[in-house]
């Protein structure tokens, strides 16, 4: 495993996105716990969760509790593991998502997450999505108050524009350590935010990083991933899975990129963790440059 900086700590260059362990089509708890343990065994020290990662109504806390339980059951040292959670979104249980980034809600949510995770302070607390009904500065200001109160150690923002990153950075300064936006071989709309995060020294955590290679946990039953892209062909040249190759490509996109692929099986996260072993040459990167690129 290789490592990268996230604020004032060092974490694995590949993280574990824990969402698939709690939402639709989730595995049973034994398999979910085994998946977290496999990630830890592979050297992964960043686990991404959220208070809204659950399936049914009334189980809002499912993923955070699962992650905490898996860490407690692990036989080795977990003191170096950074659990990053998020607040500001909800799932009523019918498959839809809601947004509530009012300061009052974020403060309550962060304290509840801290208790569920069983920590003195949340290692990384991320605003899950801007709320169109709340001034951005007010939501970010709530993160500042959580820092000052000691409820969280560092903060991040997710699903944001470049202007929102700049405004949050002006308010939070060095306490802002990460940006989490969707970015993958097939979805590269966040390229400006990736570049801005790198210039500001912020970790960029691509969510759904295997889009175009594997179906996301957010995808419906239709629309299978492509099977014949430049990523598949370069992966074949290296003798690795296209998923592992895609993660290696993401690591080459910026020195602050830390992909967080989801996994629901130990084998999947073990394969993803080995993406740090792949070195890509200039010609290979050129072949991978354009979405749905050819040979």
Residues noted as catalytic: 53
How far apart, in Å, are the Cα atoms of 186 and each of 49, 213, 225, 286? 23, 8, 10, 15
Cβ(172)–Cβ(143) under 8 Å?
Answer: yes
How far apart, in Å, are the Cα atoms of 55 and each of 20, 106, 268? 10, 21, 21
DSSP string, 257-290: B----B-SSHHHHHHHHGGGG----HHHHHHHSS
C-alpha torsion angle, residues 6, 161, 85, 205 (rounded to 10): -40
SS3 195: helix
SS3 47: strand
d(CA 122, CA 100): 20
d(CA 278, CA 240): 9
Which alpha helices (DSSP H) does the chain contain, by range? Answer: 29-41, 62-73, 103-117, 136-149, 162-172, 191-200, 230-238, 242-253, 266-273, 282-288
Give the burial string for 186-216 (b: 16+ CB within 10 Å, else e): bbbebeebbebbbebebbbbbbbbbbbbbbb
Neighbours of 252 (CB within 10 A): 14
* Residue recorded with tokens 């991404």: 48
């Amino acid at each position: 495993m290789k490592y990268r900086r996230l604020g004032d700590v060092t974490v694995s260059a590949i993280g574990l996105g824990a969402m698939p362990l709690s939402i639709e089509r989730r595995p049973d708890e034994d398999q979910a716990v085994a998946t977290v343990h496999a990630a830890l065994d592979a050297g992964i020290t960043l686990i991404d969760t959220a208070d809204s990662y659950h399936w049914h109504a009334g189980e809002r806390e499912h993923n955070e509790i699962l992650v905490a339980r898996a860490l407690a059951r692990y036989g080795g040292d977990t003191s170096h593991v950074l659990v990053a959670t998020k607040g500001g979104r909800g799932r009523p249980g019918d498959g839809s998502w809601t947004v509530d980034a009012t300061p009052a809600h974020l403060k309550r949510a962060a304290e509840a997450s801290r208790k569920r995770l069983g920590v003195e302070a949340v290692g990384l607390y991320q605003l899950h999505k801007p709320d169109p009904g709340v001034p951005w500065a007010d939501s970010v200001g709530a993160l500042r108050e959580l820092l000052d109160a000691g409820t969280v150690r560092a903060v991040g923002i997710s699903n944001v524009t470049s202007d929102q990153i700049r405004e949050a950075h002006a308010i939070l300064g060095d306490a802002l350590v990460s940006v989490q936006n969707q970015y993958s071989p097939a979805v590269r709309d966040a390229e400006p935010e990736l570049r801005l995060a790198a210039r500001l020294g912020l970790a960029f955590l691509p969510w759904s990083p295997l889009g175009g290679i594997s179906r996301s946990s957010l995808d419906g039953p239709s629309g299978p991933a492509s099977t014949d892209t430049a990523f598949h062909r370069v992966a074949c040249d290296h003798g690795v899975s296209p998923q592992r190759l895609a993660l290696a490509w993401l690591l080459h996109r910026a020195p602050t990129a830390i992909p967080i692929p989801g996994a629901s099986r130990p084998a999947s996260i073990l394969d993803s963790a080995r993406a740090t072993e792949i070195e890509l040459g200039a010609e290979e990167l050129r072949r991978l440059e354009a979405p749905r690129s050819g040979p």
